[in-house]
């Protein structure tokens, strides 16, 4: 059977304002089953607002939200739908007075297709702290428990809002590994992050969110290609103004002696650069890394 | 079967979580007993130990019902635990019934303490049917107070909730004649008492021992039932809409 994978999530033209502040300004995207989608953006870009709107925690002003092909009305989400979702919110906590084991037992009882307490303890990696109360866990351990609780109902679609926030490098890598395993087992995952590396490591596609709009959407490679430019670094006597006037220059950064330019047509820029200043030294031309592509995308939109 | 299990677990863990908060359990159980022993048994503040048993029972069951809901839910909300539950397929009724059963457990404990104190130290002698009826009236009567607590818990911050509950609980208890019998109050305060749900509950309790003010049972029941229905409707909306 050759069929188009079903869209598990489809949102179009979501708008949401708080008082006079626009948090979402026409966010549109869709996501296929089994995909890992990273929503990447600086703090305040609207990531949590977007997730909250999809989950029905807040009402949007306009726009459409489809989950598993069903149009969602207002903030109502059916119980049948909730059975298929798993959520880890950025500001999450379990009951302070219950132990890790008790929370797992309670949460898995909510789901028809549930994981056992032993499985959840294993996912959280908290087998030895099973009898500790939530309030006595470290920040990273709390995050791991909340991650496990999000998986209590073997969700088809998992939302992770900044899941590695506050984790050390080791814990972060361990969580990445678990996310990869989930993906391999066919779970669709929406992940918000402001760590570019995280998005690059995990996501099939990245949606760059800026001021409530999705300004770019594609695989990490596609996003890099959207910025067709190259990065030219050198030491030169030219002023910033002269450098900006060179052909095809999009962006300029100066670090003491060294200047880096992002150019749409590196050959033209280099030729003009050498004509204008024969004393140029330490010249390097490199492809733009995703990080620069991301910075450039967000900077361009801000200027526009 | 599995949904029964869900309701049971929700209730069990709600109770367990509260029992692990000594700062809640001890005052909730000790205050009504202390107040009753002091004002009802030794001091006999304006009425017999049997009259004051009813009013202090009413006072005793109101506290945990309101505090368990208001403070517990406000703190669940503040820390994000309630959000996780709202996003899960857990039915709202399971959450509500769990909180209710917890407040019933506290109410039963308080009634046992007060009834024992009344028999042992206050020489209160009632028919077994009267004891039973009084207990049933008080337990059922805790429902509107629990819902009032739920409403406060769903609308106030975790910092504000306990203070606001006290601000409602204590004046309402006093003005309903739970500390000092209502018949000692000036007439206009006795009229005003019709506004407070605790007045209606205490009158129903006093009817059991034939010491009420003689208003119709249906009027008191009607006010409490109406209040319960209104509060339940508002709470269900608040819970699903946030």
ipTM: 0.85
Q: Are residues A59 and A183 in the same domain?
A: yes
Alpha carbon of B88: minimum distance to chain A alpha carbons (Å): 6
Q: Residue A274: which CATH number?
A: 3.30.70
Confidence of residue B76 (pLDDT cuts 50, 70, 90): confident
Instruction: Judge whether residue A224 has pLDDT over 90.
Output: no
Q: Compute the distance between CA of residue B61 and CA of residue B66 in angstroms, rounded to an integer.
A: 9
Whether residue B45 has pLDDT greater than 80:
no
Mutate to test the interface with B, among A85, A95, A134, A146 (most CBs of B within 10 A): A95
Inside any domain, residue A12: yes
Distances (CA, A) of B209 to B37, B50, B218: 19, 8, 17
Looking at residue A144, what is its pLDDT? 92
A301 belongs to a structural domain:
no
Minimum distance, in Å, between the CA of residue A243 and any CA atom of chain B: 51
Q: Which residue of A77, A84, A87, A93 to mutate against B (max B Cβ within 10 Å)? A: A93
Contact list, B90 vs chain A (CB under 8 Å): 110
Measure CB to CB from residue A87 to each of B10, B84, B91 and give the nearest one.
B84
CB–CB contact B80 A91 (8 Å)? yes
Taking 90 as the threshold, does the pLDDT of residue A72 lie above it? yes
- Domain range enclosing A37: 7-219
Residue-level pLDDT at A67:
95
Mark which of A190, A219, A248 sits at the end of a domain. Answer: A219
How many interface pairs between A and B have CB atoms less than 8 angstroms apart?
A: 75
Please compute the mean of the pLDDT values over residues B125-146 and round it to a whole number. Answer: 94
A90/A125 same-domain check: yes
Length of chain A: 304
Domain annotation covers residue A304: no
Residues A87 and A234 in one domain: no
d(CA A126, CA B21): 24
- In the predicted structure, residue A235 carries a pLDDT above the cut 80: yes
A240, A209: one domain: no
Confidence of residue B68 (pLDDT cuts 50, 70, 90): confident
Torsion sign across C-alpha atoms A35, A40, A43, A47: negative
Q: What is the CATH number of the domain that holds A121?
A: 3.40.50.300
Q: How many domains does chain A have?
A: 2
Q: Could you tell me if A197 and A280 lie in one domain?
A: no
Q: Are A244 and A191 members of one domain? A: no
Residues A141 and A268 in one domain: no
Residue A91 counted as domain residue: yes
For the residues A213-225, what does the mean pLDDT come to?
Answer: 82
Residue B81 has its nearest CB partner, among A87, A93, A109, at A93
**End of a domain among A195, A219, A243?**
A219
Instruction: Verify that A87 and A172 share a domain, yes or no.
Output: yes
Mean pLDDT of B26-55: 89
- Radius of gyration over every alpha carbon of chain B, rounded to an integer in angstroms: 18
Q: Mutate which of B3, B4, B84 to disrupt the A interface (most A C-beta within 10 Å)?
A: B84
- Is residue A303 one of the residues assigned to a domain? no
In a domain, A119, yes or no: yes
Same structural domain, A186 and A278: no
DSSP conformational letter for A132: S
Alpha-carbon gap, residue A226 to A277, rounded angstroms = 30
In this prediction, residue A108 has a pLDDT band, given cuts at 50, 70 and 90, of very high
CB-nearest partner of B17 from A98, A111, A153? A98
Q: Are residues A142 and A272 in the same domain?
A: no
pLDDT > 80? residue A260: yes
Euclidean distance between CA atoms A20 and A30, whole angstroms: 28
Residues A24 and A126 in one domain: yes
Pairing between β-strand A230-235 and β-strand A258-263 as defined by DSSP bridges = antiparallel
At residue A21, φ and ψ (nearest 5 deg) are -95, 120
> How far is the C-alpha of B172 from the C-alpha of B190, rounded, in Å?
13
Q: Looking at the domain assignment, is residue A295 inside a domain?
A: no
Entry field: residues in chain B? 242
**Percent of chain B predicted with pLDDT > 70:** 98
Final residue before a domain boundary, out of A219, A238, A264? A219
How much is the pLDDT for A304?
A: 47
Of the pLDDT bands very low, low, confident and very high (cuts 50, 70, 90), residue A247 is confident
Asked if A82 and B241 come within 8 Å (Cβ–Cβ), the reply is no
Question: Shortest CA distance to A191 belongs to which of A61, A89, A45?
Answer: A89
Phi first, then psi, for residue B155 (nearest 5°) are -115, -15
pTM of the model: 0.82
Residue A172 lies in a domain: yes
Same domain? For A203 and A271 the reply is no
């Amino acid at each position: 059977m050759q069929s188009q994978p079903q869209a598990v999530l489809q949102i179009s033209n979501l708008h949401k304002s708080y008082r006079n502040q626009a948090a979402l300004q026409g966010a549109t995207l869709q996501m296929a089953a089994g995909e890992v989608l990273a929503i990447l953006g600086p703090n305040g870009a609207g990531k949590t607002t977007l997730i909250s709107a999809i989950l029905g925690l807040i009402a949007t002003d306009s726009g459409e939200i489809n989950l598993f092909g069903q149009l969602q009305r207002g903030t109502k989400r059916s119980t049948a739908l909730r059975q298929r979702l798993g959520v880890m919110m950025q500001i999450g906590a379990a009951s302070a007075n219950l132990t890790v084991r008790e929370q797992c037992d309670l949460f898995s009882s909510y789901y028809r297709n549930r994981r056992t307490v032993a499985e959840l303890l294993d996912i959280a990696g908290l087998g030895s702290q099973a009898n500790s109360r939530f309030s006595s866990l470290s920040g990273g351990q709390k995050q791991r428990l909340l991650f496990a609780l999000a998986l209590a109902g073997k969700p088809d679609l998992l939302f992770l809002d900044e899941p590695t926030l506050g984790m050390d490098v080791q814990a972060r890598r361990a969580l990445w590994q678990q996310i990869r395993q989930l993906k391999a087992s066919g779970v669709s995952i929406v992940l918000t992050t402001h760590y570019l590396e995280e998005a690059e490591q995990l996501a099939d596609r990245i949606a760059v969110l800026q001021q409530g709009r999705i300004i770019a959407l594609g695989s990490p490679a596609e996003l890099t290609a959207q910025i067709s430019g190259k990065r030219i670094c050198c030491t030169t006597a030219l002023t910033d103004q002269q450098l900006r006037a060179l052909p095809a220059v999009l962006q300029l950064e100066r670090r003491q002696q060294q200047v880096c330019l992002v150019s749409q047509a590196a050959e033209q820029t280099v030729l003009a650069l050498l004509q204008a200043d024969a004393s140029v030294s330490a010249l390097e031309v490199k492809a733009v890394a995703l990080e620069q592509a991301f910075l450039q995308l967000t900077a361009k939109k801000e200027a526009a | 079967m599995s949904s029964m299990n869900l309701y049971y677990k929700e209730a069990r863990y709600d109770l367990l979580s509260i029992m692990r908060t000594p700062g809640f359990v001890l005052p909730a159980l000790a205050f009504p007993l202390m107040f009753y022993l002091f004002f009802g048994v030794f001091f006999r503040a304006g009425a017999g130990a049997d009259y004051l048993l009813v009013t202090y029972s009413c006072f005793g069951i109101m506290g945990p019902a309101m505090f368990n809901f208001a403070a517990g839910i406000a703190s669940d909300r503040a820390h994000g635990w309630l959000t996780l539950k709202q996003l899960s397929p857990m039915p709202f009724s399971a959450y509500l019934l769990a909180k209710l059963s917890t407040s019933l457990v506290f109410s039963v404990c308080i009634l046992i303490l007060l009834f024992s104190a009344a028999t042992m130290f206050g020489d209160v002698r009632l028919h077994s049917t009267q004891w039973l009826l009084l207990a049933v009236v008080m337990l059922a009567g805790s429902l509107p107070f629990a819902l009032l607590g739920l409403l406060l818990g769903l609308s106030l911050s975790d910092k504000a909730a306990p203070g606001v509950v006290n601000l409602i609980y204590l004046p309402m208890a006093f003005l309903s004649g739970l500390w000092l019998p209502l018949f000692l109050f000036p007439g206009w305060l006795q009229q005003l008492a019709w506004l407070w749900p605790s007045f209606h509950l205490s009158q129903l309790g006093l009817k059991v021992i034939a010491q009420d003010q003689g208003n119709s049972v249906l009027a008191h029941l009607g006010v409490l039932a109406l209040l319960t229905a209104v509060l339940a409707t508002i709470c269900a909306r608040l819970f699903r809409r946030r």
